[in-house]
Structure 1
């Protein structure tokens, strides 16, 4: 049994203009995430991948289909019932600069979800120090403000905040796209180390096929609200079967100028076909 199951998921957004009909942005998506697995969700901007993540988090209403977590339907939950699920499903957002409250210390940011769950302030502080160690930050970070940290360090803090309730699934919405390449690599390695240590599952959303290839066990490719290809990570990211996935692969930059030129010519050929 999968940890997360998305069945025939459909989401409508309001149309533009007076009396405009709603626009369906997800057209019957089926996917699943197993315990301890990373499912990479990849597609260009506007493909619907972030909307899937927001639907799993309960941030957008469903117009059809079902979302099940641990064999429990969660698509229409609200209030207290949604709050109960939130302990097991956490999120790491794209921008480490805006996802942390600038007026709170790191200790307060990380303690808050623990105290809400009933931990004493003393126990919460002890857990916070453990979390900071887990993401490779010094214990004295608890007294500092977010602005005192680099982008990579802030994203580590955001990861620690997501880990605080002990989740079983983390929705990672473009969590490294705002970071430079060297910092991206460090944060991706941190995600994988945490998964090995805790068994947490990831729904990892990105437009970058190279990032998805590096971290994912399986890959699902979104194109204009449709799931066009899914399969094992190495297979989908190196031997794609769908033309759109092939275009994503050819668009990924490589260090070899000859190979980069070949990819550009092949991409132009596919575009004109």
Structure 2
């Protein structure tokens, strides 16, 4: 998320103040307090998070003075590669043998859910910044986690209620097929229905399937005969398909009464 690095910095500062109040025993006074940033350093979220999140955390530590009650503060980080098993393994090692006291960020909702499972088991703090699924504070909630930036419940309700109120009552979802997209579609569907709208369908799109624009065809009412006219060649079918995609990107969904609010 674009603003997650800034919010992570302020959240880290708040954490350090809390740790100053609830400090460990004097016997640990010389040991570093380690904050582990589990983030995407090389994938699709790396531009808005990644190295920027690490830098933001280190700036927050510097603003705080670099130590808490005599304990120097260290920031460590790792690339979760957008793989929940990789993230869980890294965090488990951090908490068990790496001397990490707090885990932060966890961008990518599927990753964050896996990390939260580990921190919940270990009773450690997890500062979630960048992962949006409302399951993190819903069915998978943890007493040691805080979801700092946003979640799908807030985003879905703000958008859906506003657009239904403006007349956008018929909805079709093109949904990213992972934890965030699934939660956003679920929460948005509930908001649309509660506001008096209808949901006519949805398509789940994996990362391997690209942008998903072609799936807009599913949302547009088309007569079966027009989809595959008698005697049509594969080239003809492809031309019709591309034409329908182009129309989808412009006016067809609006003509069919289906609005566009963005991708999940």
TM range (shorter): 0.3 to 0.5
Relative contact order (alpha carbons < 8 A, sep ≥ 6): 1 or 2 greater? 1
Query: Which of the two has greater helix per residue?
Result: 2
Who wins on radius of gyration, i.e. which is larger? 2
Q: Tell me the TM-score normalized by structure 1.
A: 0.35
